[in-house]
């Protein structure tokens, strides 16, 4: 579902339905086909290629003596450039790997935080 357009239609945000709100790797894998299909449509329209990024917004929870603390970090990949349809799936998978590595780094550096819920998945 398209959320916003900017720069005369050259930039757009799309929100992907949350399929699994507890596991980022399952969410990313389950929405891969949706993202691939959308990017194939867009690259067909643009003809010069395009750049895309993937973002997951998570709610993280940490239990303390005073109760639960929540944070909502954004996990994104670097923008990926594709010039033809054959590159799309590989670039999506690279973006997903970056996001999962960033989540793992955040969890390992921030003691006792756990994933509470996936809020949004954006492309």
Mean pLDDT of the chain: 85
Quickly state the pLDDT bin for 90 (edges 50, 70, 90): very high
Output 122 or 80, whichever has higher pLDDT: 80
Comparing 62 with 6, which gets the higher pLDDT?
A: 62
> Looking at the 3D structure of the chain, how many domains does it have?
1
Choice between 50 and 6, residue whose per-residue pLDDT is larger = 50
Q: What does the pLDDT read at residue 76? A: 93
Cβ atoms of residues 39 and 18 within 8 Å: no
Element (H, E) at 91: helix 88-109
Domain holding 78, by residue range, is 2-122
pLDDT of residue 48: 79
60-84 tens-digit pLDDT: 998 889 999 999 999 999 999 999 9
3-state secondary structure of 117: strand
- Gap between the Cα atoms of 24 and 30, Å rounded: 10
- Give the Cα separation of 54 and 20 in Å (integer): 16
pTM tops 0.85: no
Written as six digits, the tokens of 73 are: 């970090």
């Amino acid at each position: 579902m398209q959320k916003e357009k900017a720069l005369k239609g050259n930039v757009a945000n799309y929100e992907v339905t949350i399929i699994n709100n507890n596991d980022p790797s399952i969410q990313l894998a389950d929405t891969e086909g949706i993202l691939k299909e959308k990017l194939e449509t867009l690259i067909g329209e643009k003809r010069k290629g395009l750049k895309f990024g993937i973002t997951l917004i998570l709610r993280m929870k940490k239990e303390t003596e005073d109760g639960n603390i929540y944070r909502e970090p954004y996990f994104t990949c670097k923008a990926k450039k594709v010039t033809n349809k054959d590159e799309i799936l590989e670039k999506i998978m690279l973006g997903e790997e970056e996001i999962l590595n960033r989540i793992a780094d955040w969890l390992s550096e921030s003691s006792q935080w756990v994933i509470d819920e996936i809020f949004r998945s954006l492309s």
